[in-house]
């Protein structure tokens, strides 16, 4: 998914979440109310008004991955419905300076709509300023340039239903351990509204909905490479853990390694986002009990729709969320397709048979 971008120091503190607030639903980086992505759609009159105008779009992504490929597919299909050509597609390779160059390249093609994930809020604020001056409609994925105002500088921010991702993770872990026992909580140790809300939603759901489950160990993580070390320390102090929540799939692989090294087949893992190593363990009946994912294809579709509605002069919601889904061994093939618009890895499909 999008989590690798969070590891850069330039993003630390970019979008804050007030820790004292116990959230019961997903909110935007400045507390904006969420609009379901299903509500952001083009009707036939909109399509008719867009076709034949020669409109162009640019997709300026932070990296290339299954996730961005799925977001692109959703966006391209929606743009195609409206007869909008994709003039430029770029991959910044998690490099904010390179992304700035990508923006300059894209603007030379004079796109009417740009979809992008701004890697660095400060750098991108200046980099996208010319697009704002040109009247290009901007739709951002999960991040926003510093100081930008919705409606005047950009059309919408689109991201996942963050609260539902955390809640579904809590529900899945609870189900796997019979709704009682001791669990560990490994959260993202940085101030970023995406991971903060997902993590907090897990914790809130456990505390409010599962009185017989106790979070007995908590540890923050910023570097996924330290996950195995953190898990070993957690298990040393709490060898009887029934389950562990891990903030996303990459560090979850390290936690899984720690459990395997200890010969621990009992402790269940739940994590967020799809990845082959943890999915393979899940379908083989290992420690991983469920993966909670976003609907990346729908993210792209909603981003394109928001940009096109803005191009038509229509009001667009400030903050849009796409649904979450829980992927287990029983629905791994369908879940992978629904989330990423592609088949699950062959190794996972073979092991699930």
Tell me how far apart the alpha carbons of residues 135 and 153 are, in angstroms, rounded to a whole number.
9
Asked if residue 112 and residue 8 are part of one domain, the reply reads yes
What's the confidence (pLDDT) of residue 23? 55
Co-location of 126 and 148 in the same domain? yes
Dihedral class, residue 134 (left if φ above 0, else alpha if ψ from -120 to 50, else beta) = alpha
Between 156 and 5, the more confident residue is 156
Regarding whether 192 and 115 lie in a shared domain, the answer is no
- Average pLDDT in the chain: 92
pLDDT tens for residues 277-301?
999 999 999 999 999 999 999 999 9
Q: Output the CA torsion 108→109→113→116 (10° steps).
A: -60
Name which of 187, 197, 212, 211 is nearest 167 in CA terms.
197
Q: Are 53 and 198 in a shared domain?
A: no
**Do 135 and 274 reside in the same domain of the chain?**
no
* 132 plus 34 within the same structural domain: yes
Q: Could you tell me whether strands 324-327 and 288-294 are parallel, antiparallel, or unpaired per DSSP bridges?
A: antiparallel
Same domain, 134 and 30: yes
Quote the number of domains for the chain.
2
Both 199 and 346 in one domain: the answer is yes
Residue 307 shares a structural domain with residue 188:
no
Residue 288 and residue 300 share a domain: no
Question: Rounded mean pLDDT of 331-346?
Answer: 95
**What digits encode the pLDDT tens for the residues 226-274?**
999 999 999 999 999 999 999 999 999 999 999 999 999 999 999 999 9
pTM: 0.89
Residues 200 and 288 both lie in one domain: yes
| Domain enclosing residue 170, as ranges | 162-294+326-352
Q: Which residues contact 135 (CB under 8 A, 6 or more apart)?
A: none
90: domain CATH number?
A: 3.40.50.2300
Query: For the segment 8-41, what is each residue's pLDDT rounded down to a tens digit?
Result: 333 333 333 333 345 569 999 888 999 999 999 9
Q: Which of 348, 311, 342, 331 is nearest to 53 (CA)?
A: 311
Q: Is the same domain home to 190 and 108?
A: no
């Amino acid at each position: 998914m999008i989590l690798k971008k969070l590891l850069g120091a330039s993003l630390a503190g970019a979008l804050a979440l007030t820790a004292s607030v116990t959230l019961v639903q997903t909110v935007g980086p400045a507390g904006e109310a969420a609009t379901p992505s299903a509500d952001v759609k083009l009707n036939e009159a909109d399509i008719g008004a867009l076709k034949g105008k020669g409109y162009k779009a640019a997709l300026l992504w932070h990296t290339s991955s299954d996730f961005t490929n799925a977001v692109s597919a959703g966006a391209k299909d929606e743009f195609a419905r409206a007869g909008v050509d994709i003039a430029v597609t770029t991959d910044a390779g998690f490099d904010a300076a390179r992304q700035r160059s990508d923006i300059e390249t894209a603007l030379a093609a004079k796109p009417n709509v740009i979809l992008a994930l701004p890697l660095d809020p400060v750098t991108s604020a200046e980099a996208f300023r010319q697009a704002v001056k040109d009247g290009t409609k901007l739709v951002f994925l999960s991040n926003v340039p510093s100081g930008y105002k919705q409606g005047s500088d950009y059309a919408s921010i689109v991201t996942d239903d963050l609260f539902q991702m955390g809640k579904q993770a809590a529900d899945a872990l609870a189900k796997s351990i019979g709704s009682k026992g001791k669990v560990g909580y490994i959260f993202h140790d940085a101030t970023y509204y995406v991971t903060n809300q997902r993590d907090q939603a897990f914790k809130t759901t456990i505390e409010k909905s599962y009185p017989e489950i106790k979070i007995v160990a908590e540890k923050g993580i910023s570097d996924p490479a330290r996950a195995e070390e953190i898990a070993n320390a957690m298990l040393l102090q709490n060898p009887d853990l029934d389950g562990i929540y891990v903030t996303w799939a990459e560090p979850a692989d390290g936690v899984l390694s720690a459990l395997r090294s200890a010969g621990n087949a009992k402790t269940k893992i739940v994590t967020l986002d799809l990845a082959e190593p943890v999915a393979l363990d899940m379908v083989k009946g290992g420690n991983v009990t469920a993966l909670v994912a976003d609907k990346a294809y729908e993210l792209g579709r909603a981003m394109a729709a928001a940009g096109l509605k803005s191009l038509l002069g229509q009001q667009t919601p400030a903050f849009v969320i796409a649904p979450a889904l829980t992927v287990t061994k029983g629905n791994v093939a369908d879940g992978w397709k629904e989330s990423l618009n592609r088949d699950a890895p062959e190794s996972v499909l073979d092991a699930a048979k």
